[in-house]
Structure 1
């Protein structure tokens, strides 16, 4: 279902973020993100003119990780940015993620390490997109353990352990007060 109708308007800015997940032939996994910002009009930066449709920002980030969500490698590239010779200098710093685990506490560590003047705002924003893509990338790739609480439970409002969705799809993990149908009609694998 699309958003409601909008009033007439003129396009100004377009940010396109794509994220893709892969399983490598060596058994590791990768997520790759691409961010592109363009304007619908030409404008001047201190570093020169940008034509309409020409990228103001174009950045790539790849994270290689294993089944435990531990980062094995990280690579950042900045192909377009407002301050050539300066913005792209920070990209090697993103290798600091090597050895980190994309588990609870990861986002705080990202902000602490790459926030404000310690990183590039756009590359740092891309990390959170890739972290969630990394989880989705593993869905269905690993054997499920029926004794272990599925990752998505308590990760969002719909899958709070006391929510009706958990009662319906994951009845053994339901912690609410309402009676539950123990049939477990839903898919028991992580989404």
Structure 2
């Protein structure tokens, strides 16, 4: 009985994950030729995407706090104050002098034709000198990573240095943030019913043992 329930639950999970979008990553040129304590940049979506992760070069070989902020639209004109920005992730890592994935899972949707600003704030990061704020630093069929603004300290009031380019990557899934369909909700409810049935079965076995 329990083996049958487990098999049915496994089948449910396969159905739920079968339509999951595959993650894709766009990387900017490496290595850094400059650096300081923060990088602001924009991501423009050619097609609807959901940004799920970021990577950056970290140079400081001591544990450091990394904060990730986002804002709707461009960061240009909004780089010196926190108004309109949202803190979407905080973590700690030790720099290796190379590009490192930031261990924060994001879910930041960008509609087709829209732009979202990102700010990675940390004590010691690497970035590159650019050509012009807003120029395309890297792209694929779905997103463009634009040249942005370096910060001299990991806060909004710090000095802006432009143009500066992210040395790292943006990971995304194609399409908006996933929302369960009606059929997926039915499977979720079915899974909950299975779990409840299993618990009741185990309880009755214990009572009759």
TM (normalized to structure 1)? 0.24
- The structure whose residues are more often helix, as a share, is 1
Higher alpha-carbon Rg: 2
TM (normalized to structure 2)? 0.23
- The structure whose residues are more often strand, as a share, is 2
Tell me which of the two structures has the higher relative contact order, counting C-alpha pairs closer than 8 angstroms and 6 or more residues apart: 2
